[in-house]
Structure 1
């Protein structure tokens, strides 16, 4: 019997979950054991999992779970240095040279555990089986527009918070842009054909922003890309790798430009492959904009858990995408889990 243990997230402003009560009921019917940690902050109430028949465990009790339990969460674990003996399904952010990622891999190596990284669960064509991308793009575009509106007031954007729904977010943002005078005129999106870019484009168009969409064909030259500087907003919506060119170079802040806000929705500032080379750290819900130049202003928005602005919608969407792959966890007929395990094995042996 495969035992999935859904942990309560331990990061501030993170209320998403990767398994809904309906999904848990499906797993139970298929012969899985499902344990869900209690949580007062999760977007989906614990009672729903009780009603589905799950075993309920104390919040943050996963370190004491049976060693054969697969610990399922979304964002990072507490950085306490403890060894990790379990198999974890999560977003590890550990395979692209990130400093915290090396530490995480060392913890798995010390404990003998395994990371099955959600970012690298792919089908046999290399496409991810589940992603929060659309809602990351949607929410990221909204926060980027908030940063632009704050600039019109001569300010830097203040704290952001979750919304009950996408419609509530759009209504609030439209009012904020009206108070700013008018929305920005143009935005350039790289990665426009993907989930993230589609979400960003949908939000921009809903707010009256004209979108220019680029993808691999428009960036294959390797740059530079002066067109980026000729738009009010720029969105980076791609998963960068070793061959990804620099989209925004270090000299961009001092160049002649119309560009005022960069929405780095991919948000990998400490990666070796970061294509937005004007900042070095993620921004936060409390301080969503990092000002990298004053006159004229240039802000970077780079929050790394954007879908949590719409926690219920994004959780239900992601969980629905992932459920067929979770159901295959014990048998792995598609090879998705074995590919993720092989990738982990390759990286962990380097630390």
Structure 2
């Protein structure tokens, strides 16, 4: 295998402060012989100078479009709309394999340009377990924001913080009323994070996982004051809540936080909203009387950018050190080809097969 050239791109989304590789792990990559180019980014939690000190080459923002053909472009969230054709191998969360809106367009850009998507969500070991994920911090923040909203202490627009400062706002204060909370998918990464946030807030949450969701009791979901969903379905399952359920006169539910944000997918377990919320408007009211508020932010871990990036980078480092066309990365490429076939997208010969 030729020497690996990773190109860490600036994130186009203005609220994305995270990075898939932190400077300390960049140093380990360069020490192992990996060429690492890092784009300037005013919003990345780690300044580019720290990467330069770790042996990385510095490049202008957005210059990945002219990167050498063999460079692997590394990021987290969505690409800008241009260029219309993608010629490189890209590593990021594409959200394009479950018929999400825009999936065909994104995969078509790769197929037309001869590039490939190596989707981080599908970077798995031999048993199908995710090798690197932000799940814990997504769950932690999804529950934390729900607590703050329910207690009337959620301030918009949201701003990045530290776990220490966030936990200080979660501590119960005089006058806070007790409330019931439910975590669906409590045994997964996101569910464990959500449970930890409720613990920090002094709330003993009800915990559901596979046993409780096989034949889910919607009335019990509606019977909690706060519900946090951490289940990302990979096969069709009956929805956890439907539009008609929200009008149930017995509904006690007041705050619904959807960590998975699978809106638009036919596998969405909460098809009760049609668009996500964001840092500027983190809450959307789904029902006026009695009130029901939705939190559905699809880059929650970026609110704790340093902690979440450090954990993710540590998990991603071993696969990057072993980057190749077999093993986890080979499975990523296979899944890309499969997704193109499923959408009827005809691929040209990929230059890196």
CA distance in 1, matches of 2:210, 2:113: 40
* Structure 1 residues 58-78: Cα deviation after superposition (integer angstroms, max 9, x where no partner): 111111111110000000011
Secondary structure of 2:151's match?
helix
- Which aligned pairs between 1:44-59 and structure 2 lie closer than 5 A? 44-59=46-61
Report if aligned partners of 1:224, 1:246 keep a CA contact under 8 Å in 2. no
State the partner residue of 1:100: 102
Report if aligned partners of 1:183, 1:209 keep a CA contact under 8 Å in 2. no
State the partner residue of 1:162: 160
Report if aligned partners of 2:91, 2:118 keep a CA contact under 8 Å in 1. yes
State the partner residue of 1:317: 311
State the partner residue of 1:12: 14
State the partner residue of 2:330: 338
CA distance in 1, matches of 2:217, 2:274: 20
Pick the aligned partner of 1:326 from 314, 320, 335: 320
Q: Structure 1 residue 331: deviation in Å?
A: 6.3
1:214 corresponds to 2:208:
yes
Pick the aligned partner of 1:124 from 123, 126, 130: 126
State the partner residue of 2:349: none
CA distance in 2, matches of 1:304, 1:184: 28
State the partner residue of 2:257: 263
* Structure 1 residues 275-317: Cα deviation after superposition (integer angstroms, max 9, x where no partner): 1121111101011111110000011100000000000000000
Report if aligned partners of 2:38, 2:56 keep a CA contact under 8 Å in 1. yes
Q: Structure 1 residue 80: deviation in Å?
A: 3.5
Question: Structure 2 stretches of 5 or more lacking a match?
Answer: 346-353
The CA RMSD over aligned residues, in Å, is 1.6
Q: Structure 1 residue 32: deviation in Å?
A: 1.2
CA distance in 1, matches of 2:107, 2:32: 32
Pick the aligned partner of 1:194 from 180, 188, 206: 188
CA distance in 2, matches of 1:340, 1:77: 18
* Segments of 4+ moved more than 3 angstroms: none
Q: Structure 1 residue 225: deviation in Å?
A: 2.3
Q: Structure 1 residue 184: deviation in Å?
A: 4.6
Matched pairs, number:
340
Secondary structure of 1:171's match?
helix
* Structure 1 residues 40-90: Cα deviation after superposition (integer angstroms, max 9, x where no partner): 211111111111111111111111111110000000011236110000000
Secondary structure of 1:339's match?
helix
Q: Structure 1 residue 224: deviation in Å?
A: 4.6
Q: Structure 1 residue 183: deviation in Å?
A: 5.0
Deviates more, 1:242-251 or 1:136-145: 242-251
Secondary structure of 1:178's match?
coil
Report if aligned partners of 1:247, 1:276 keep a CA contact under 8 Å in 2. yes
Question: Structure 1 stretches of 5 or more lacking a match?
Answer: none
CA distance in 2, matches of 1:109, 1:117: 15
State the partner residue of 1:251: 244
CA distance in 1, matches of 2:217, 2:271: 12
CA distance in 1, matches of 2:159, 2:339: 36
Secondary structure of 2:228's match?
strand
Q: Structure 1 residue 146: deviation in Å?
A: 2.5
Q: Structure 1 residues 330 and 81, CA, compared in 2 at 3 Å: closer, same or farther?
A: closer
State the partner residue of 2:26: 24
Q: Structure 1 residue 243: deviation in Å?
A: 2.9
* Structure 1 residues 255-293: Cα deviation after superposition (integer angstroms, max 9, x where no partner): 121110111001111111111121111101011111110
